[in-house]
Structure 1
Amino acid sequence: MYYYSSEMLGFAAGIITTLALLPQAVKIMATRQTRDISLVWAVSMNIGIVLWLLYGLEKNDLPMIAANSVSLLLLFVILLFKLRYR
């Protein structure tokens, strides 16, 4: 039987979902093109991730805090570029 902790599962999920944002953020920074990014999506994702981060802080859940902190940084960059280059 393979043993894993729920914390390891949380870190794995956080790494995968956070890294999924990286190619989009890098592409936007390189091309300065954001026309295919919805402003409503960018704003709502930032708000949602802030709420998930607050929830993780309340629960003292390190995987949730780490993943959502990095996700928030990437999503904030996407939002800033969307506002600047629309």
Structure 2
Amino acid sequence: MKNSAIDKSIGQKMRDRYNGPFVVISRNRGGAYILAELDGSVFDRPTAAFRIIPYFAREKIELPPLDDFLDVSTQRLRELELATTTDPDDDA
């Protein structure tokens, strides 16, 4: 995921431009993605599609079923999917 906070600041040349890798859980109605870290913690807000960079692992990463993997309830996951927010962090 692109770290867009550095694009707006001066003198951040040596900062990480990307964060990740993350697992795409689903997409909401607004077109933003719901992401989770590899330990199962889900982001509390959706991420805009322009910030997502595909990552192709050299080896296949086996993940358990979503119900066992994620740290949020299925009800909260459905709320995130039904949201129409594209990216709450985007100031443009």
User: What range describes the TM-score normalised by the shorter chain of this pair?
Assistant: under 0.3
Which has the bigger relative contact order, CA under 8 A and spacing at least 6? Answer: 1
Greater per-residue helix proportion: 1
Greater per-residue strand proportion: 2
Q: TM-score, normalised by structure 2?
A: 0.27
